[in-house]
Every structure is written in structure tokens, then in C-alpha cells.
Amino acid sequence: MRPWAALAAATLALLGCRQEMTRQRRLNTFSATTIWRDGTTARPLPEGVVARGDLARDAIAATPPPVDAALLARGQERYAITCLPCHGAAGDGDGMIVRRGFPRPPSYHNAELLAAPARHLYDVISQGHGVMFSYASRVAPSDRWAITAYVRALQLSRHATLADAPEAAERLP
Amino acid sequence: MDEDLNEIREPGHVRVGAVLGVGLGTILFLAATLGLLPVYIRWMAVPPNAPPQPERFPPPRLEADPTAELRALRAEQAAQLEGYAWVDRERGLLRIPVARAMEILAARGQAAYAPLEAPSP
């Protein structure tokens, strides 16, 4: 009879448990409270707080890096990864995603974007524009400048003059 | 036990007029419905019963061979990045290879970011 007695004792001991671990004195997320004056448990960030690395990113965003072959090559690579699926290899806005029915982005070769300052292109990558969402979390600030420079190269490839590329004279039809 | 002499009993005769009225009324109603139905259909412009005509619908927009289509698109777009051609002969605008455009921009330094056209007023 000893095992039965042990089982009975254990059952009685379990019945005596109180569910204190699941019922705690705490504030639930987004619930109302009277502890703080704004009446919510969600705490705003203290004034002046920035995310780690924000100041460095802002500094890169403020000053475009000098354009050289390495930056343009980096921009070409990043453009092919991030932008080409919608904007197309030449920037006409006819990438594969567009062919499948996504709204067509404007061509880089229209007058408006040819006249747009580089800061505008940078800001569109950072914040999005129209149906394009923000690429801030996918493209680092230095890469945004690289892509901006490469977009200028794409524009120049359709907007060059004989003064820019004198070797073209003998290759033109 | 006393019988209740005031209890309501079924009358001994049939009201022929009511029976005939219901029957004839039903027939009249049916006849009127059948007669007025064509008028109603014509008034509502409901087409007469006819079997539905076969109609052509567009084929499904599926990618039967995504790999080949992407390869074709890449080849087509890679060709756009190459070669020399006139874009606008009057304004002297050229198409040049992107690699050459990158060389030109790299030589320009910081001025490479400048817009290629003046903003239109």
C-alpha cells in the first residue's frame, strides 16, 4: 500500500499549488495605467536618444564620397542586386518584376530625373517614393551614394556628347 | 353528463360558391400569369432562354519557362548597356556603353553627382 499512499500524498500536494507564476502583478504591453502621466505602459524614448551608429550614418549621408572607379563598380554591383529587378539593367523601369505586373517606375532617362539632384536619388533610396518602399534597412548609406553615382552613369550612357566620348565619332553609324 | 348544446358543429351543407370560386380563381390566376409573363419578360428586356454561346477567354498569364524568360530578358537588357548610337542627333546626344560612362564619371570626381540637365522652369 505504500506506493498508493505516496501517490495520494503527491496528488494532495499538487492540489495545494497556487498558480502564482502565471498570475503576476505586472503591466501588460500597451495597457492603460495610472503610474505615468500619459496613461500608457509604453514608454517613449528619452529626449535626444539616437540608435547606435545613427550619427555615423548621418555623417555619411551628409557628405557624398568622391566618385572613383571603385565606388562606381560597387554601385553597379549593388544596383544589380537591389534595384535592377524593378528598374531594369539600363534604368528604363522594365525589370522582371514590372513585366509581371508591378507598377512601372519612371525611367531614369526622363527629363525630370536627369535634372534631379543627387540628394533626391539618395533620399528616394532611403525613404522610398510612390510604390517604392524604403531601402534604408537594406542598403547602407555608403552604398546608397554608390548606387546614386551608378545611376548617374546609367543616365550619362544615354545622355553623352561627343565631347564626353570622342572615340564615339568613328563608331557611330 | 350534460351535453353542451352551444358547441360549434360542422355545417351540414357545402358552400359550393366558395369552392368553385377558389378553383376558378386559381385557373384564372394561372392563365393571367402565363399570358402576362411574355409581356413582363419583354418589358424587363430579359433575353429568352437560350443556351450560352461559347466565348473565347484570354490564355492564362503564366510563366511557362521562367529560367528561359529571365535569360532572354537579361540578354536583351545587357545589350542595352553596350554600343554607340545617336539618341538625339540635333542636340548631339549619344548612347555610349555604361562601362565608358563609368570611366567618364570617375574622371569627373565630385562633379559626377551633378545633374546632367538643368531643371526645367
Please give the full DSSP string across A68-113, using - where no structure is assigned: -HHHHHHHHHHIIIIIHHHH-TTSSS--HHHHTTPPPPPPTTSHHH
Band (A1; pLDDT cuts 50, 70, 90) = low
Q: Taking the CB of residue A135, how many other CB atoms lie within 10 A of it?
A: 19
Grid cell listed for B91: 542636340
A160 in reach of chain B (CB within 8 A)? yes
Question: How many contacts, defined by CB atoms under 8 Å, are there between A and B?
Answer: 122
| Mean pLDDT, rounded, of chain B | 86
Q: Could you read off the pLDDT of B47-83 as tens digits, one per residue?
A: 667 777 888 888 877 888 889 999 999 999 999 888 8
Q: What is the mean predicted confidence (pLDDT) over B35-50?
A: 80
Assess whether pLDDT exceeds 90 at residue B38.
Answer: no
Measure the CA–CA gap between B98 and B83, rounded to whole angstroms: 9
Assess whether pLDDT exceeds 80 at residue B34.
Answer: yes
Which residues of B fall within a CB distance of 8 Å from A156?
96, 101, 104-105, 116
Check CB contact under 8 Å for B96 and A99. Answer: no
Measure the CA–CA gap between B63 and B84, rounded to whole angstroms: 33
Q: Could you read off the pLDDT of A56-72 as tens digits, one per residue?
A: 999 999 999 999 999 99
Closest-CA residue of chain B to A110: B117
The rounded percent of chain B whose pLDDT value lies above 70 is 92
Band (B2; pLDDT cuts 50, 70, 90) = low
Considering only residues B45 and A116, tell me which one the structure prediction assigns the higher pLDDT. Answer: A116
Which residues neighbour A60 within 8 Å (Cβ) at sequence distance 6 or greater? A141, A142, A145
Helix axes A141-156, A118-127, angle to 10 degrees: 130
Check CB contact under 8 Å for A111 and B117. Answer: yes
Check CB contact under 8 Å for A117 and B115. Answer: yes
Assess whether pLDDT exceeds 60 at residue B21.
Answer: yes
Instruction: Please report the pLDDT score of residue B47 as a whole number.
Output: 67
Asked if residue B105 lies in contact with residue A149, where contact means CB atoms within 8 angstroms, the answer is yes
Measure the CA–CA gap between A138 and A126, rounded to whole angstroms: 9
B104 in reach of chain A (CB within 8 A)? yes
Task: Choose the mutation target among B77, B88, B90, B103 for the interface with A, i.e. most A CBs under 10 Å.
Answer: B77
Assess whether pLDDT exceeds 90 at residue A120.
Answer: yes
A122 in reach of chain B (CB within 8 A)? no
Assess whether pLDDT exceeds 60 at residue B1.
Answer: no
Considering only residues B120 and A153, tell me which one the structure prediction assigns the higher pLDDT. Answer: A153
Q: Taking the CB of residue B82, how many other CB atoms lie within 10 A of it?
A: 13
Assess whether pLDDT exceeds 90 at residue B28.
Answer: yes
Domains, chain A, with CATH or none: 66-156 (1.10.760.10)
Assess whether pLDDT exceeds 70 at residue A154.
Answer: yes
Measure the CA–CA gap between A153 and A76, rounded to whole angstroms: 9
Distance between B93 CA and the closest CA of chain A, angstroms? 5
Residue whose C-alpha cell reads 566620348 in the numeric block: A165
B12: which DSSP letter? Answer: S
Which residues of A fall within a CB distance of 8 Å from B78?
89
Q: What is the mean predicted confidence (pLDDT) over A44-59?
A: 90
| Mean pLDDT, rounded, of chain A | 90
ipTM of the complex: 0.71
Q: What is the mean predicted confidence (pLDDT) over B24-46?
A: 90
Q: Could you read off the pLDDT of A10-40 as tens digits, one per residue?
A: 888 887 777 777 777 888 888 898 988 889 8
Check CB contact under 8 Å for B95 and A158. Answer: yes
